[in-house]
Amino acid sequence: MAPPPLVGLPTDRKQFGPHPFLAVGEKYVRAVVDGAGASPVLLPALQPPVPPEQWLDRLDGLLLTGATSNIEPHHYSDEPSWEGNLHDPARDANTLGMIPRALAMGLPVLAICRGFQEVNVALGGTLHQKVHEVPGLADHRENLDDPLDRQYGPSHPVELAPGGLLAGIAGTTSVQVNSLHGQGVARLAPGLVVEATAPDGLVEAYRGTGPGFLLAVQWHPEWQVTRNPFYLGIFRAFGQACRVWADARDRRPGAAASP
């Protein structure tokens, strides 16, 4: 029996007292195991960054997670940031350089919330820093005073593109999703195709048109992934793409023989 594929998760850099720590939310790690059937590998977000090829050539997939921080706006705009906006320059430096390399390889990529925004920025797209202040767009933020089950509960419907990847997973063209984000896509990067939109027209999911598996969603399918068939279907599709990649990697010339 083949071993589980290896899925890399870039870390966030967090300060605890005088010491920086590197961390990934446990719910993402658990979703890789329970939803994708893969083995998680945490990728340290160091400064200066570790060259991406040191990670990617050994992985079977890449999961770009959500986070409490936002991408620094100088990566996609000349707008200043706003007071109180949390940033993580170490994560930006690592993921924004890693994404183009991973996609050029055809490595399977699943991107969630901040990761959804990272892929768009890395490929030349732009973001709204405050979606709720854009005329015509709704407030997509969670209520931080609510318990977690309510914050991550169904918030609004999304329309899924007919014939798209997500519509195939859901078996329908409309599903309910959670909503816990303040930023969102302003201009979608070239080479990306919309997979889902919110009722206000905001892009909620997209896929890549290049080789390999690229799916990015603005909501959080990792939350209690085994209890939501649609969310579980997203991770299962990602896990299957990782297994296909791992099998192809094992068959490449010069690959080590499986034990």
∠ CA 180-184-190, rounded to 5°: 140
Q: What are the distances in angstroms from CA 116 to CA 15, 17, 104, 164, 251?
A: 24, 30, 17, 17, 31
Residues 113, 118, 142, 204: which is the catalytic one?
Answer: 113
CB 196 within 8 A of CB 207: no
Q: What is the rounded distance in angstroms from the CA atom of residue 37 to the CA atom of residue 35?
A: 6
Q: Where do runs of H (alpha helix) occur along the chain?
A: 26-34, 53-56, 89-105, 114-122, 148-151, 165-170, 229-251
Q: Which of 181, 195, 222, 242 is catalytic?
A: 222
* Residue 242 bears catalytic tag: no
The single-letter DSSP state of residue 133 is G
Q: How far apart are the first and last CA of the chain?
A: 10
- Whether 132 sits among the annotated catalytic residues: the reply is no
- Active-site amino acid positions: 113, 220, 222
